[in-house]
Amino acid sequence: MTLFRDALRALRLTAALWLITVVLYTLPLLGIGQGLFPAQANGSLLRVDGRVVGSALIGQPFATARYFLSRPSAVDYSTGKQPSSAPSNLGPTNPDLVKRITAASKVLQGAGLKDPSPDLLYGSGSGLDPHISPLAAEQQIERISAQRQLTPQQLRQMVRRHTEGRTLGILGEARVNVLELNLELDRRSP
């Protein structure tokens, strides 16, 4: 009988806490997000002529010479049939890691990057990294300049505009948003 009574208490407790932690907690944040910060709340989407072309926070695959290249991704930047995000999970002593880096290094040399910045060879943690390092961008300026009607000087300025330094000069690392940079490339020299 006491077990029945205690089970009933646990049942009521579960119902009450479910309402509080699932409904009452989530709704205000949903309301504030959609009402006051719709851009962020809907995924920081970037539009060109009203068409969604990407998210300012999510990288895209760039492999052609006309664009600044993005980092290797274990999930092809979620371009499969389902949303995805994952690192390679290759261990530091896994022979497959050496093989992958060797192959990527050959491809980059073909694209004119003799001594590529390490972030262009190492896979990212999310498979969606929107950034490359400023060095990786600088190394690609000459190639892009040959492909587009833009001088290295102009390109360097563009890279600088899309470079974010360490937050408050301390936090994180300096980085270049590849999608935003490439969008400007298309805008300036289609």
Partner 1 sequence: MIDWIQVALLLALVLGSAPLLGRHLWQVYDNRSQPLLDGWLTPVETSLLRWVGDPGRPAEQAWDYLRPLLLSNILFGAVAFLLLLLQPAWLNPLGLPGVRWDTALHTAISFLTNTDQQHYTPEQTLSDFTQLGALQFLFFTSAATGLAVGFAFIRGLCGRPLGNFHWDLVRSITRVLLPLSLVFGLILLINGSPMTLGGPVTLRTLEGATQILGRGPVAAFEAIKQLGENGGGFYGANSAHPFENPNPFTNLLAMVAMFAIPAATIDAFGRFLGNRRQGTLLLLLVTGLFLGLAVVAIKAEQAGNPLLAPWLSGPNLEGKEVRFGAALSALFATITTGSMTGAVNAAMDSLMPLGGLVPLFNLFLQVVFGGQGTGVAYLLVFLILTVFLTGLMVGRTPELFGRKVEKAEVVYSSLILLIHPVFVLVPAAITIGFPALQGISNPGFHGVSQVVYEYASAAANNGSGFEGLGDGTVWWNLSAIVSLLGGRYLPIIALLFLAAGFSRKQPVPPSQGTLATDTGLFTVVTAVVILILGALTFFPVLALGPIAEAFSLPR
Which residues within the stretch 9-38 sit at the binding site for partner 1 (CB under 8 A)? 9-14, 16-18, 20-22, 25-26, 28-30, 32-34, 37
Task: Reduce the DSSP state of residue 74 to 3 states and report it.
Answer: coil
CB of 165 to partner 1, least distance (A): 10
- Window 40 to 99, contacts with partner 1 (CB under 8 A): 40-45, 52-58, 60-64, 67, 71, 76-95, 97-98
From the list 2-10, 141-149, 151-159, the region that binds partner 1 by CB under 8 A is: 2-10
Q: Does 8 bind partner 1 (CB under 8 A)?
A: yes
Q: Which is nearer to partner 1, 116 or 148 (CB)?
A: 116
Any contact of residue 110 with partner 1 (CB under 8 A)? no
Judge contact between 68 and 137, C-beta under 8 A: yes
Provide, rounded to whole angstroms, the least separation between the CB of residue 67 and partner 1: 7
Query: Cα separation of 162 and 179, whole Å?
Result: 10
Structure tokens given for 186: 């298309």
Site residues for partner 1, window 136-165 (CB under 8 A)? none
Per-position DSSP letters for 142-174, written without gaps between them: HHHHHHTT--HHHHHHHHHHTEE--BTTTBS--
Number of amino acids touching partner 1 (CB under 8 A)? 97
CB-based contacts of 141-144 (< 8 A; 24+ apart in sequence): 142/112, 143/65, 143/111, 143/112, 144/66, 144/67, 144/68, 144/185
Which among 64, 109, 71 has a CA at the least distance from the CA of 88? Answer: 71
**Binding-site member from 99, 160, 161, 166 for partner 1 (CB under 8 A):** 166
Q: Which of 49, 110, 171, 190 binds partner 1 (CB under 8 A)?
A: 171
Indicate the SS3 state at residue 135: helix
Tokens of 179: 């999608």
Q: Does 129 bind partner 1 (CB under 8 A)?
A: yes
CB of 156 to partner 1, least distance (A): 19
